[in-house]
Structure 1
Amino acid sequence: MITKEYFEKIGLGSILDKVLAGERLSIADGRTLYDCTDLTALGALASIVRRKLHGNKTFYVLNRHINYTNICINGCKFCAYARERGEDGSFQLSQNDILEKLRSAPVAPREIHVVGGCHPDIPLSFFEKSFIAVKKEYPQATLKCFTAVEIAHFAEIEGISSKEVLEKLRAVGVEMLPGGGAEIFAPETRNKICPKKLDGDNWLRIHEEAHSLGYTTNCTMLFGHVESVADRLDHLDQLRKQQDVSGGFNCFIPLPFLTENSALKIDNPLTGIDELKTIAISRLMLDNIPHIKAYWVMLTVKQAQAALHYGADDFDGTVVEEKIGHMAGASSEQALGRKELEEMILGCGFVPVERDAAFNEIS
């Protein structure tokens, strides 16, 4: 058992006091946590917060991912997913393709997750018509569609504001944004990995606009590339400050950078220890974001199970087909069933709870 005296001994006594009192940790506290070599102690701290918020519950959802195209104009250096138009391996789904993928799902999804590349020629009207058709066939499902980067792209090609794009999507049934594209906010680091992509300030602005219109959104951080610990902590701090203002972030998803098929070469790739440490520190720093996702697609199932003991409370869901992480080199399964998800959660000592996209429990 880790005692108060032990936390004092390893230099985490004051942080333990803050965690128990529900006080916000500082950037300096975050640095102290990253410097700590006792992973078990970090997990114990994160578990205090996790259990205070969610007890012994671990959530999952019956969802279906739709990646509608990998044709993209951004050319991000880390991305193994994107292709140019006409390049081998490029694809673009039709409205019927999207519907057929949904119809082929093992179970009717409660959450439909739609993201893709910034295609130069797909108009917003294509998605408006497609989502009307999807909602007609799947009225019970929540549409969680497009990163802030895609929203900004639609605004540019349509000649309207990002808020107008969000209003148009809201009118055809979109209720959530999935939170990708945040990568890392620090400008110098972001410029090294995705110089053409929407910058961090505008990513946050678009999420604030979405929150003002009644959307709930996720948020993410891509870590383990060329960023520093200071960049990670700044990113987490900016997310919680935005949450203080607009309050619409429902879940944070730490995304480990996968090196296998990326043109961005890393001297010291992520270790499993760093993944779990970052998940734990995210839970501790993001005091105003209720959920932390163990995204098994990019973590692998076994590491996602371990993450439940390091602050994560959500195991994502069935997914069915995911291309972005797998084209980057993810070795995880393409899909999991309800029974598999529940058995994995039970095997870690937690209680599986099915949820909808907004984390309402399904009885």
Structure 2
Amino acid sequence: MAVTEILNAHKNGLRLSTGDAIALYLDGDILEVARLAADDAARRHGDTVTFVIDRNINYTNICKVGCKFCAFYCDHENEKAYVLTPEEIFSKVEEALALGATQIMLQGGLNDRIKFDYYLDIVRGIKERFKITVHSFSPPEIAHMAELTGLGLREVLTRLQEAGLDSLPGGGAEILADRVRQEISPKKITSAKWLEVMETAHGLGMKSTATMMMGNIETLAERFAHLEKIRALQDQTGGFRAFIPWTYQPYNTELGGKKMSSYHYLKFLAVCRLYLDNFDHVQGSWVTQGPDIGQLTLTFGGRDLGSIMLEENVVRAAGAEFRMQLQGMVDLIKNAGFKPAQRDTEYRIIKRY
């Protein structure tokens, strides 16, 4: 089908096939695709652009996986290796609350010397001490806990949920194609296992996000196969709150390479907004692209700019040094002609500016 026919079909309410989406990305005019994606976003969210205030607490940097794209991990013997105590984590949560955070993300390496009770005690301790959402532990971490304990995924997730875990971030997806995963992260879970963790969580009533790290060694077909898999699971469960794509950061990593261009990132983001018709939210990445391109995402189908991130260590270790303060986020959104609003994890508006 020609690009014009694809665009007209979408305007008439027909769902894009994966082939249609690839054709739009390859042959569509970037401004025409962006305009259609922006129209889609406006129908869903008007001129409101949201963000959340949270803190990403990396409880350990010790990891047995050793992904080639990661500049954060180390082994047990490294002088920089650490595991945060529960008290250190509680202190970080308290600091985050004082700065207006409504969400905590606990994420760390797959450290085989950490017991399952450590995770349960931390989540339970946070919930007993603070009123804050615990949006934590990516699918590789959940699968790691299951492996260490011998428990099934459902049992691990149930125990975490009973301790107070609210929802799961989508980390560890990278590209949901096992050829790519075998090359860049051969010790990490398969794409099927990532999807199984999410399906299991959704079955327990636990919402999550879906992510993609693009621009390393994947082919375009593999990137769109990733979208096809998460769209299919969303059709089945409805458990994803948002899709969050970002670009691979090559510095200080074994994999190396170059950054994906902002042009290709923005065009892909717009196609994602059109293709992922069952996702309410598509997030723009100022963290990997910088504030200026982050602002442009608002005209390419994005209506959420993620987190101000009071703390973030993993992407920063790979060379992304962008930072954002609350007023900077508000000004960035206003200067693009949109209305900024702070949200919570469930995308409920807390405050408008």
- Calculate the TM-score normalised by the size of structure 2: 0.95
Distance 2:37 2:17 in 1: 15
Structure 1 counterpart of 2:342, which letter? E
* Corresponding residue number in structure 1 for 2:272: 282
Aligned-pair Cα RMSD in Å: 1.5
* Corresponding residue number in structure 2 for 1:118: 110
Does 1:84 find its partner at 2:75?
yes
Task: Give the deviation of 1:108 after TM superposition.
Answer: 3.6
* Corresponding residue number in structure 2 for 1:34: 25
Structure 2 counterpart of 1:225, which letter? N
Structure 1 counterpart of 2:291, which letter? V
Contact 1:218–1:253 at 8 Å: present in 2 too? yes
Contact 1:223–1:232 at 8 Å: present in 2 too? yes
Task: Give the deviation of 1:316 after TM superposition.
Answer: 1.2
Does 1:135 find its partner at 2:127?
yes
Distance 1:171 1:22 in 2: 41
3-state SS in 2 of match to 1:319: coil
Does 1:347 find its partner at 2:338?
no
What are structure 1's unaligned runs of at least 5 residues? 1-7
3-state SS in 1 of match to 2:293: helix
Task: Give the deviation of 1:15 after TM superposition.
Answer: 2.1
* Corresponding residue number in structure 2 for 1:19: 10
* Corresponding residue number in structure 1 for 2:263: 273
Distance 2:12 2:133 in 1: 36
Distance 1:228 1:248 in 2: 27
* Corresponding residue number in structure 2 for 1:185: 176
Select which of 333, 338, 344 maps to 2:326.
338
CA deviations over 1:226-285 (Å, ceiling 9, x no partner): 00110111000110000011110001110200011111133x541111111121111111
3-state SS in 2 of match to 1:156: helix
Moved more, 40-49 or 214-223: 40-49
Select which of 16, 39, 45 maps to 2:36.
45
Does 1:360 find its partner at 2:341?
no
Moved more, 149-158 or 273-282: 273-282
* Corresponding residue number in structure 1 for 2:215: 224
* Corresponding residue number in structure 2 for 1:5: none
CA deviations over 1:93-135 (Å, ceiling 9, x no partner): 1111111112223524211111111111111211211122211
CA deviations over 1:162-189 (Å, ceiling 9, x no partner): 1111001100111110111011111212
3-state SS in 2 of match to 1:176: coil
Structure 1 counterpart of 2:346, which letter? A
Task: Give the deviation of 1:37 after TM superposition.
Answer: 6.1
* Corresponding residue number in structure 2 for 1:242: 233
Distance 2:214 2:255 in 1: 13
Does 1:328 find its partner at 2:322?
no
Contact 1:42–1:280 at 8 Å: present in 2 too? yes
What are structure 2's unaligned runs of at least 5 residues? none
CA deviations over 1:59-98 (Å, ceiling 9, x no partner): 1112111111111011111111111112143222111111
Contact 1:317–1:341 at 8 Å: present in 2 too? no
3-state SS in 1 of match to 2:299: coil
Task: Give the deviation of 1:213 after TM superposition.
Answer: 0.5
Distance 1:89 1:347 in 2: 41
Structure 1 counterpart of 2:126, which letter? V
3-state SS in 2 of match to 1:65: strand
> Runs of 4+ in structure 1 displaced over 6 angstroms?
none
Contact 1:19–1:49 at 8 Å: present in 2 too? no
3-state SS in 2 of match to 1:103: helix
Contact 1:182–1:203 at 8 Å: present in 2 too? yes
* Corresponding residue number in structure 2 for 1:161: 152
Distance 2:88 2:100 in 1: 16
Distance 2:117 2:271 in 1: 41
* Corresponding residue number in structure 2 for 1:171: 162
Structure 2 counterpart of 1:273, which letter? Y
3-state SS in 2 of match to 1:354: strand
CA deviations over 1:194-230 (Å, ceiling 9, x no partner): 1111000111011010001111100111110000110
Distance 1:172 1:18 in 2: 47
3-state SS in 1 of match to 2:350: coil
Contact 2:53–2:310 at 8 Å: present in 1 too? no
* Corresponding residue number in structure 1 for 2:281: 291
3-state SS in 1 of match to 2:167: strand
Task: Give the deviation of 1:38 after TM superposition.
Answer: 2.9
